[in-house]
């Protein structure tokens, strides 16, 4: 309760620092002694201390006036990489500012509050604060504010003001560098595997049926840029080719409708991202499906979806047309022909793969204590 009141006072007015509480206590002692002894010099000392406390409670508020904070949106990263954050501090006044502290109020899932000290900020100048946030797990994180603090010039009172500077950080799931994946390489019959291959015009992206032109987004391949139209409009425009139909695409389907063990679900998300990336590198028309999202194809959309996807108990469970790779925690579910099943067992299970005589489709059981990349590559 006391901490909450202190934070409210600091954000709306000022709150005493440790030295401020000490000086306030000494001042009260002098005033009490002066009242008992009626000594004039004690009244003078007490009055000087009161004046000093009054001035030091006003100056920090003035020191924060005229300072604006802004930030640049961070680029998406994969789990395990560091987010690069950039915060710009601007002094819009004609007077220099000194002894400032900037605090970025990042979510607890990303770690502790990030702090940065600025000794002097000249008049009409900018200061750029760059720092990195290490990431361990996927997610879409957002936080709206940055706090600016100071106790200058006397250090007796803290004053802070919160400014809006919205940030949204996307941490993609880890992508395993698969060199082979028998579950996908042998999916379906020979005719079906030939259908999965992209047409040469789609692979090169230099000719073919163009459905529409749209503005360039980060992550789009440069081979899809329509240079003539980009020169006409003065901005990069990207061609959207005709999307292959579902029976021509290999679908990575993630089961989100059942109760998962948390660690197994995270492994399933990593596997989905890795299988999608492997299919793209093998030149397959790969798509992602879940009951929450339906079919999506663009890599950035797929990774962004996997960054924020969560298991639930609702959704449409009707699976898309085969061939598909079904990632689930519940084995023995009916699947279409020419499909594969990757089961993330909640218990420690022996590594197994191959054709199952009861389900009539290929199955791979993931052992939670073994290396996931090795099991997906089926290296024995």
Least reliable range by pLDDT among 152-156, 226-230, 268-272 = 226-230
Instruction: List pLDDT tens digits, range 1-57.
Output: 678 888 888 888 899 989 989 999 999 998 888 888 888 888 899 899 899 999 988
Structure-block tokens of residue 164: 């809006």
Domains of the chain in sequence order:
2-63 (no CATH), 67-172 (2.60.40.10), 182-198+244-377 (3.40.50), 202-243 (no CATH)
- Kindly report the pTM of this predicted structure: 0.74
pLDDT for the residue numbered 142: 93
Q: Mean pLDDT score of the chain, rounded to an integer?
A: 82
Instruction: List pLDDT tens digits, range 332-372.
Output: 777 777 788 898 876 544 444 454 444 456 788 888 888 88
Mean pLDDT of 202-218: 59
Query: Which positions ≥6 away from 242 have C-beta within 8 Å?
Result: 208, 209, 210, 211
Instruction: List pLDDT tens digits, range 281-338.
Output: 888 888 999 888 888 988 999 999 999 998 876 655 678 777 889 898 887 777 777 7
Give the whole-angstrom CA distance, residue 341 versus residue 330. 10
Could you tell me if 302 and 296 are in contact, meaning their C-beta atoms sit under 8 angstroms apart? yes
Give the whole-angstrom CA distance, residue 156 versus residue 151. 7
Confidence of residue 69 (pLDDT cuts 50, 70, 90): very high
Radius of gyration of the chain (CA): 30
The beta strands (E) that lie in 216-351 are given as 237-241, 250-254, 286-290, 294-296, 324-328, 340-344
Structure-block tokens of residue 159: 């004053």
pLDDT for the residue numbered 240: 67
Alpha helices in 117-186 (DSSP H): 182-185
């Amino acid at each position: 309760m006391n901490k909450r009141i202190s934070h409210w006072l600091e954000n709306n007015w000022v709150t005493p620092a440790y030295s401020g509480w000490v000086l306030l206590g000494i001042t009260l002692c002098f005033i009490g002694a002066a009242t008992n002894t009626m000594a004039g010099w004690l009244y003078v000392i007490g009055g000087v201390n009161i004046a000093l406390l009054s001035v030091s409670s006003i100056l920090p508020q003035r020191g924060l006036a005229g300072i604006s904070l802004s930030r640049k949106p961070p680029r998406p990263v994969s789990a395990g990489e560091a987010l690069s954050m950039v915060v710009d501090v601007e002094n819009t006044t004609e007077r220099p500012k000194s002894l400032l502290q900037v605090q970025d109020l990042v979510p607890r899932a990303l770690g502790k509050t990030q702090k940065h000290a600025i000794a002097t900020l000249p008049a009409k100048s900018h200061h750029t604060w760059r720092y990195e946030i290490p990431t361990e797990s996927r997610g879409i994180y957002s936080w709206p504010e940055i706090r600016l603090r100071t106790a200058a010039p006397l250090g007796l009172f803290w004053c802070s003001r919160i400014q809006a500077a919205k940030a949204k950080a996307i941490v993609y799931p880890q992508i395993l560098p698969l060199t082979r994946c028998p579950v996908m390489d042998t999916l379906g019959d020979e005719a079906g595997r030939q259908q999965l291959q992209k047409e040469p015009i789609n692979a090169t992206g230099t000719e073919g049926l163009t459905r529409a032109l749209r503005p360039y987004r980060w992550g789009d391949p440069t081979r899809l840029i329509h240079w003539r139209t980009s020169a006409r409009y003065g901005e990069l425009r990207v061609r959207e080719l005709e999307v292959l139909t579902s029976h021509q695409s290999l679908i990575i389907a993630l089961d989100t409708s059942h109760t998962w063990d948390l660690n197994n679900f995270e492994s399933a998300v990593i596997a989905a991202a890795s299988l999608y990336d492997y299919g793209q590198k093998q030149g397959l028309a790969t798509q992602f499906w879940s009951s929450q999202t339906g079919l999506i194809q663009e890599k950035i959309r797929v990774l962004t979806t996997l960054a924020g996807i969560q298991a639930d108990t609702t959704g449409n469970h009707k699976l898309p047309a085969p061939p598909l790779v079904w990632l689930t925690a519940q084995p023995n579910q009916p699947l279409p022909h020419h499909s594969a099943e990757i089961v993330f067992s909640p218990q420690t299970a022996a590594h197994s793969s191959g054709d199952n005589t009861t389900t009539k489709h290929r199955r791979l059981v993931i052992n939670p204590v073994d290396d996931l990349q090795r099991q997906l590559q089926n290296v024995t």
